[in-house]
Every structure is written in structure tokens, then in C-alpha cells.
């Protein structure tokens, strides 16, 4: 078996590219370390000196506000220097290749790259290419993976539900285009969640999705029954090259989360969403702003989880 490209020869995390194949011990260590960083983010001085003198480059080849901002805040709270590059608007439009861009930035003494790209595998390619002392974090590559989002969802679930071993988790919506769903499924199964369901119309499910170890439901009422955790996904209309759904109104009717549908899940079920939300498409405002929603805590925890990932990578 070939070596997991995220791990070094000692089995330590060298890059974070995907939650697929991430060993349980590393997953747990990230979540535990993030717990300590939540303490830091609740203080008046929300900064620790851990990565002082390190340079972290945010390479965003695809627009993003929230993810880039939370990575930037995480790096600054670790006292690293952060350089944000909006590549879509610069070198690439002048014809420079991805790896030439990376080589140039490496020569500016980068210690870590946070990479968002529309092509699946872009972060892997960069991780494979850079000097061995440089760390790479995948901040979303095409439809493939968005590991820090998956991890912050796991952190949020653990915060509210404590134990993964007796949970029913339902992932609802556009699984086909979602790198978040893939990252969630791999992390949930590694953490020992016994029942992971995906709820979506046939047109928004990848072929043979059940091979990932999930139960497939096309009927939302059936899929939500007695669920403990609802992971809502954004309907990614910008990634839809062809018609996958008749209309957003019809999508909302069958797969939008309303109070009535939420009532089918357990009474203490929690609702997560990676943002940005399409209100009235995949989620009703009454649910998004309701008592079972943990969507805003997710954002806060996302900073602590990214601090944990950065500090663990820098220390290996």
C-alpha cells in the first residue's frame, strides 16, 4: 500500500489534504487541541506566541470570504504572519502555472500554504511539489475535500453530543457537488458513528455513494426520522453545469429543512450548515435562526480547529 501523502515517515501529520484515511488518533488529537484553543479565543488577549516568525500564505484560486477569513484569524491568533493572495486576480491571469506560483512564493520563505482551488487534487499536487519543510492545508479542492470544514463539524458535534458511538447523522442536500459532504462522511465513519445517512434526490448523489458506508435516502421524512445530527449542505448552483433540479422552489419543497421536517428528527437534534446559506432553498429561516441551529457556533469553533491544525502541522 502506498503511503498516505499527508503523513510523514513517523506517521505524523505533515499536510492536511483530506479526512479520508486520516488515522483516528490524529483526528482526536486535532479535536482535543482545538478544545484548548477555544479557551484561548474566549480570553481578552486571543493570541498565543506559538507560530511567531512563521509565514502562512493563503492561496485562494477560487473566491471565498468566510474560509479565508477564518484561516487568517487562526494564523494571526497563533502570531504567524499571514499573506493573502487572491490568485484568480493576479499571476494566473497572466499565464503563470500553479507550480511556478508556488515556487515563487516558497522563495519568499513561506512556511505553510493554505490552498483553495476549483480543481480536485490541487492541494495534493502542491504538497507533493514543495520543499519538505513546507506544510500544506487543503482549504477546499473542487468536489474532492474540505477537511478543516469536516473537522470543525466533528468538533461541533462532539461539543453538543459528546460521544460519536450512538449517533444517527443525516447529511442532507447536494452531495454530488459537495467536498464538505465527502470530508464529513470520512471523518464520521473514522470517529465511529454507527449510522450515517445521506438524503438527496438521485440527481444530486454521486454514483455508488453507498460504498462510502452510508445509507441512502431519497425521501427526506424517512431519512430524518430519529436523527441526532442534521448536516445541511448548500445547493451549489454555481457548480451546476446542467440541470440537476427542476427549480429551487421545488427543491425547497422536497429537501428544504423546515420546522415541520425537523420535528421528525430527535427532539434534541442539532442542525449544522457550512455556509453560506441559501435561505428558503435548503433551509428555512425559522430553522436557521432557531434553537436547534448551531450554525454560528460552528463558525467560532472553525477558528479553534484551524489553529489546532496549523499548530500540529508546524510542530511535526
Partner 1 sequence: MSPLPDAEVLLARLIDRIRPDLTQATALVGIHTGGAWLAERLHRQLGPVLPLGTLDVSFYRDDFDQTGLRPEVRRSNIPFEVEARHIILIDDVLYTGRTIRAAINELFDYGRPASVRLATLVDRGGRELPIAADYVGASLALPPDTMLVLVQDSEGKLGLDLHPRNLPKA
35 vs 96, which CB is nearer to partner 1?
A: 35
Instruction: Please state, in angstroms and as integers, the Cα–Cα distance from residue 302 to each residue in 66, 120, 124, 148, following that order.
Output: 10, 22, 22, 8
Q: How far is the CB of 225 from partner 1 (least distance, A)?
A: 37
Structure letter (DSSP) for residue 239: G
196 CB-contact burial (10 Å; exposed 0-12 / middle 13-18 / buried 19+):
buried
Cα separation, 71 vs 227, whole angstroms: 31
29 vs 161, which CB is nearer to partner 1?
A: 29
131 vs 202, which CB is nearer to partner 1?
A: 131
Q: How far is the CB of 36 from partner 1 (least distance, A)?
A: 4
Q: How far is the CB of 307 from partner 1 (least distance, A)?
A: 9
Cα separation, 217 vs 101, whole angstroms: 43
Q: How far is the CB of 77 from partner 1 (least distance, A)?
A: 10
235 vs 313, which CB is nearer to partner 1?
A: 313
Residue from 138, 119, 254 nearest 199 by CA: 254
115 vs 310, which CB is nearer to partner 1?
A: 310
**Could you tell me if 304 and 37 are in contact, meaning their C-beta atoms sit under 8 angstroms apart?**
yes
25 vs 243, which CB is nearer to partner 1?
A: 25
Residue from 148, 143, 93, 137 nearest 118 by CA: 143
Q: How far is the CB of 85 from partner 1 (least distance, A)?
A: 26
Cα separation, 117 vs 68, whole angstroms: 12
Cα separation, 244 vs 237, whole angstroms: 9
Q: How far is the CB of 50 from partner 1 (least distance, A)?
A: 5
> Residue numbers of the site for partner 1 (CB under 8 A)?
29, 32-33, 35-36, 38-40, 43-45, 47-50, 311-312, 314-316
Q: How far is the CB of 42 from partner 1 (least distance, A)?
A: 10
Cα separation, 151 vs 302, whole angstroms: 8
47 vs 162, which CB is nearer to partner 1?
A: 47
Cα separation, 293 vs 295, whole angstroms: 6
Amino acid at each position: 500500500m502506498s503511503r498516505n501523502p499527508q503523513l510523514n515517515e513517523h506517521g505524523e501529520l505533515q499536510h492536511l489534504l483530506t479526512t479520508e484515511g486520516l488515522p483516528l488518533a490524529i483526528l482526536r488529537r486535532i479535536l482535543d487541541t482545538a478544545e484548548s484553543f477555544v479557551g484561548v479565543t474566549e480570553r481578552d488577549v486571543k493570541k498565543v506566541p506559538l507560530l511567531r516568525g512563521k509565514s502562512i500564505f493563503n492561496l485562494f484560486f477560487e473566491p471565498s470570504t468566510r474560509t479565508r477569513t477564518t484561516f487568517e484569524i487562526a494564523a494571526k491568533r497563533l502570531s504567524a504572519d499571514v499573506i493573502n493572495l487572491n490568485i484568480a486576480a493576479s499571476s494566473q491571469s497572466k499565464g503563470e502555472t500553479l507550480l511556478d506560483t508556488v515556487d515563487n512564493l516558497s522563495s519568499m520563505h513561506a512556511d505553510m500554504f493554505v490552498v483553495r482551488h476549483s480543481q480536485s487534487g490541487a492541494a495534493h499536487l502542491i504538497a507533493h511539489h514543495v520543499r519538505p519543510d513546507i506544510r500544506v492545508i487543503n482549504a477546499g479542492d473542487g468536489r474532492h475535500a474540505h477537511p478543516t470544514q469536516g473537522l470543525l463539524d466533528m468538533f461541533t458535534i462532539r461539543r453538543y453530543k459528546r460521544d460519536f458511538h450512538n449517533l444517527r447523522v443525516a447529511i442532507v442536500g447536494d452531495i454530488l457537488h459537495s467536498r464538505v459532504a465527502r470530508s464529513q462522511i470520512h471523518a464520521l465513519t473514522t470517529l465511529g458513528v454507527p449510522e450515517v445517512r445521506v438524503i438527496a434526490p438521485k440527481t444530486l448523489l454521486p454514483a455508488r455513494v453507498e460504498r462510502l458506508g452510508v445509507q441512502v435516502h431519497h425521501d427526506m421524512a424517512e431519512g430524518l426520522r430519529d436523527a441526532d445530527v442534521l448536516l445541511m449542505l448548500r445547493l451549489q448552483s454555481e457548480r451546476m453545469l446542467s440541470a440537476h433540479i427542476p427549480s429551487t422552489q421545488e427543491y425547497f419543497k422536497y429537501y428544504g429543512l423546515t420546522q415541520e421536517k425537523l420535528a421528525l428528527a430527535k427532539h434534541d437534534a442539532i442542525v449544522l450548515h457550512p455556509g453560506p446559506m441559501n435561505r428558503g432553498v435548503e433551509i428555512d429561516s425559522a430553522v436557521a435562526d432557531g434553537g436547534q441551529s448551531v450554525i454560528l457556533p460552528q463558525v467560532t469553533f472553525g477558528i479553534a480547529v484551524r489553529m489546532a491544525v496549523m499548530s500540529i502541522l508546524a510542530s511535526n
